[in-house]
Chain A
Amino acid sequence: MERLVRRTRQNRTIGRIRCMALLLTLAILGFATVSHGAPSVSASLDARRFSVDQTATLTIIINDADGTIAELPSVDGLDFVKGGEFKQTQIVNWSSSSMKSFLFQVMALRPGPFTIPPIAITVDGKQLLTQAITFEVTPAAAGIPSLLNQQGGGIAPPSQSKIQTAGEKEQMAFLRISPVKEESYTGEVLPIEIKAYFRRGLRATLNSQPRLNGDGFVLTESKQEPVQTEEMVGNIPYSVLTWPGTLSGIKEGRHSVSVAIEATLLLPDNRRRSAPMGGDPFFGNDLFADFFNQQQVQEKKIQIVSKDMTLQVLSLPSEGKPADFSGAIGKFELQVKAQPTDVGPGDPITLTMTVAGTGNFDRVEAPVLSQAEGWKSYPPSAKFTPGGGLGQGEKVFEQAIIARSGDKTSIPSLSFSFFDPETKKYQTLHTDPIPLRHNKTEGSEKSENVSADDGAGATEGQGRPDVGAGKTMPQKSNGDQSGRSDAAASLLAPLHQQMGSLQQGFIPLISQTGFQMVVLILLLLLVAVTLFKIRARRLTSNPVLCRQREMARFLELRLREIKKAQEQGNSRDFLAICRRTIQEQLGLLWQTGPAAITLADLRQRLATDSELIALFATAESGAYVGNILSSQELAEYAGKLEHALRQLR
């Protein structure tokens, strides 16, 4: 967002400059006669005294000629930013004069006196020099609210005045590291504080975290955001960012180290800029810029480096190094708890060992049993919890141990060794033995004796399945195999006493033909049922199909009756059934009541050559008149009727 506002301001400035240039050009075009005097160059600074948080405008003017500036001189502590160039031509009494101006913003990176040396300008192939300009840059004005662009941390009230070391006085920003021991041991953790000081009122954006320059040490920063405070250093207020961290020597010898961070300074231009033509009109006025909080800023990327420190890294002494020393350096305390202490033979005991203190916890390993013989120990788990300060914390180890024999009355003492850099000696912490109470059962006594015999076995432990009926525990193993039977093997669940059903191989059910057939049948059944359901649903939702089915059903029924009447030779019944059949079929087809259908309806709605009309007429007359038909006629009639009715569908 801030970048966007800055860009908008720059665009507005450029727009004003372009507008002015256009006006000047138009003015020049209005005159035809141009005459030149002797060319001359000059340079001026609009302020001879300004603070580091402000800028001044350097104006270079070329009179009566068109020239170019080859290169601006390089001045230590100064930075030039080109602002634009303008050209103006005047005609008085048909005598013309021209003026070309170049504008530069001058930024000082530190307070003090500065001199801009003569600037070379090429005019018509000749080189002309401006005069040197001397000016003074003062420190930033106090009382400006902090504008440091840094997240996190509250702003504490300014601390007491501190001594400013040489070199820092001129700096707008500097780094300090404190406190650092000049001598340390390989792997020792040195808590440090990295402080970045920025002059109050200075706006800055950090581009990197602090990084270490130099070999031999490793810098570990805290993952927390830096804390922002304010401090007075040499009566100058500073905004301070503080990072906690640790330094660890990784290589023996003397090493020169420093810390650096990258930052971008946003230098505000609070000055009223004066253009050669007398300043910006209206919106260029600083009054409005201030009103809308539209300060001009210039970005300046810098690297802040702390002073070099020479630190000595020593190797750990080999004399007196304990056998269980794992590389822990610092000051530690050890606490051990055991759970449960009321155990049966073979029961696992969980040791909770807490190593707390200050030092390199990454090298802190689990304490070890002083007498491990007769104990089976499992790999410990570790959990580190950081403490309040750097390098402080506690590491908790949990380890399961099992007594290999039942005669253990206590857990032996545990030891943990470390190197104390203050006393420059190794120290070994010992815990007291933890007494155990044995909870002997009948079954466990048996196993305990066995274990005592072979010196390796233990009895069933916690969490194993209950020993049910029909299951027995092994009593002892033979001598030559006892060495291979460890505690875990002796904690096995007992044998099964029933052999169970035997199989000739491991063929899964899904590979057996019988199961595949069953699944196939079920699938086919499912598919068939689903298809039937779909068909049924289709039929019920389709009236035409329903009618056709109904017609077919009635037709089959009636045809059987007709056949029966034909076989009986009953012409009257035969014709009556035929008539009713025709009415039913046509009734279903025409969606009308069958009884209401007459010969007239057939003649009206069927084609004139329809066989049904004649058949219906015969049937109707037969039913009323009582015609007697021969069996041949009956058969012929029945055949024609069936054919005609099937064609209806």
Chain B
Amino acid sequence: MKGILKLKISVTALVLLVMSCGLFVPCSAQENSNQDFLEANKAYEAGDLAKAIQLYEALIARAGFSASLCYNLANSYARNGQTGKAVLEYERALRLAPGDVDIRHNLEMLRKDKGLLPEDVPLVHQAGTLLGLNQWAVLVAILLAALALLHLATWHFTLSTRLSYSLTGACLLLLGISSVGIAIQYQKWQEAVILAKTSLLISPFDGAASTGLIEEGRLVRIIKRHDNYALIKDENGRSGSGDGQGRPNSVGAREGGSGWIPDTSFEPIAMTMAAKNSR
């Protein structure tokens, strides 16, 4: 009997030990990440941008993305004159924290300074960017739940037909708006950023004729891929280059503003850790 009791105590102790290890290991990893993060911040503040970038990148490769991590890395790239990388990391930070004022401000200022602002964004698209993709998605879920609850409530509570219809109509209208918002933001989610000023080619082969240039930091949409090339269209629906003064120049590209560029000249904004590390 005593032996059984001892065995039980031993097993319990072992389980507790394993569990405690399991708890401490992540805590320790989180602590290390925070230390690295602060160290990278210190390097940035000291003006050692190369070190700051190296530390932030290593942290992302090891621990993953966070809005603040991407934002700080973007600041480092921006100060280091790497506009493409800076825009990429700001856009990533915005994906994770769409309402962050600092991210929006810095990205807007950088793009304005480099002449990368999009031309004549349609009102619908402007409205679509009021919320992030995840925020639109949550809103849709809330509206669906509200609709279901409203219908359930009418079984038990007496609501006037007018009120019931008004609430249903409002929910459906918001659902429609949210769906459009999701569509717009999902399209933006798929965008990529040009990392270096590159030529737009008429076909996906080495030595193909160029139809123009596309500026570093420009947002593009990937239409299709072929080997190591991607057919892209810039955010203004055309290929073009800025003159650095906020005045974009049309370069008269073929195929309505699309062109082929090598994979190495751009990076998708939304990607997994595995994909990023493989690059």
Contacts and interface: CB of A to CB of B under 8 A. Distances in A.
B137 A505 contact: no
A485 B79 contact: yes
B54 to A, nearest CB: 14
B113 interface: yes
B70 to A, nearest CB: 10
B270 to A, nearest CB: 4
Interface size class of A (residues with CB under 8 A): 35 or more
Contacts of B64: 502-505
Nearest to A510: B137
B272 A507 contact: yes
Nearest to B62: A502
B95 interface: yes
B79 A492 contact: yes
Interface in A453-484: 463-465, 471-478, 481, 484
Contact of A478 (B49, B72, B269, B275): B49
B105 interface: yes
Contact of B65 (A471, A492, A506): A506
Contacts of B102: 465, 471, 493-494, 496
Interface in A514-539: 515, 518-519, 522-523, 525-526, 529-530, 533
B247 interface: yes
A379 B272 contact: no
A456 to B, nearest CB: 11
B41 A505 contact: no
A66 interface: no
A103 to B, nearest CB: 65
Contacts of A503: 64-66, 96
B66 A491 contact: no
Contact of A475 (B45, B50, B270): B45
A567 B182 CA distance: 65
Contacts of B112: 488
A505 B49 contact: no
Nearest to B49: A481
Interface in A348-369: none
A489 interface: yes
A519 B140 contact: yes
A497 interface: yes
Contact of A500 (B44, B66, B133, B245): B66
B253 interface: no
A378 B246 CA distance: 9
B130 interface: no
B109 interface: yes
B272 A499 contact: no
Contacts of A606: none
Given A474-B47, A499-B69, A501-B66, A515 B137 contact: yes
A541 to B, nearest CB: 15
Interface residues of B, number: 65
**Most chain A beta-carbon contacts within 10 A, residue among B64, B137, B154:** B137
Contacts of B11: none
Interface in A143-171: none
Interface string B94-115: 0111000110011001101100
B228 interface: no
Contacts of B198: none
A488 B106 CA distance: 9
B65 A510 contact: no
Contacts of A504: 64-65, 272-273
B68 interface: yes
Interface stretch (B142-150, B202-210, B232-240, B254-262): B142-150
Contacts of A507: 270, 272
A489 B81 contact: yes
Given A481-B49, A499-B68, A518-B141, A379 B247 contact: yes
Contacts of B275: 505
A506 B95 contact: yes
Given A465-B101, A502-B63, A510 B182 contact: yes
Nearest to A488: B113
A497 to B, nearest CB: 7
Nearest to A461: B109
A484 B272 CA distance: 31
A371 interface: no
Interface in B81-134: 81, 92, 95-97, 101-102, 105-106, 109-110, 112-113, 133-134
B141 A495 contact: no
Contacts of A491: 109
A486 interface: yes
Given A492-B75, A496-B68, A509-B133, A474 B44 contact: yes
A381 to B, nearest CB: 10
A473 B105 CA distance: 15
Contacts of B34: 499
B151 interface: yes
Contacts of B134: 508-509
B19 interface: no
A74 interface: no
Nearest to B185: A508
Interface in B43-77: 44-50, 63-69, 71-72, 75
B165 interface: no
Contact of B148 (A378, A515, A526): A526
Contact of A508 (B101, B152, B189, B247): B189
A306 interface: no
A498 interface: yes
Contact of A523 (B44, B67, B138, B144): B144
A515 B68 CA distance: 25
B33 interface: yes
Contacts of B155: 533
Contact of B151 (A499, A508, A529): A529
Nearest to A467: B102
A508 B72 contact: no
A500 B65 CA distance: 9
B110 A488 contact: yes
Contacts of A471: 102
A98 interface: no
B45 A474 contact: yes
B33 A499 contact: yes
Contacts of A501: 66
A481 B109 contact: no
Given A492-B75, A500-B69, A481 B148 contact: no
B145 A522 contact: yes
Contact of B137 (A475, A488, A509): A509
Interface in B193-236: none
A498 B109 CA distance: 23
Contacts of B137: 508-510, 515
B265 interface: no
Contacts of A497: 38, 41
A543 to B, nearest CB: 22
Given A481-B47, A499-B34, A500-B68, A492 B109 contact: yes
B73 to A, nearest CB: 10
Given A476-B46, A508-B133, A510-B137, 4 more contacts: A489-B78, A495-B71, A509-B133, A522-B141
12 contacts: A476-B46, A481-B80, A488-B109, A497-B38, A499-B68, A500-B66, A503-B64, A505-B64, A505-B271, A507-B270, A519-B144, A526-B151
Nearest first, the 9 closest Cβ-Cβ pairs linking A and B are A484-B81, A505-B272, A506-B270, A488-B113, A496-B68, A502-B64, A477-B47, A493-B102, A522-B144
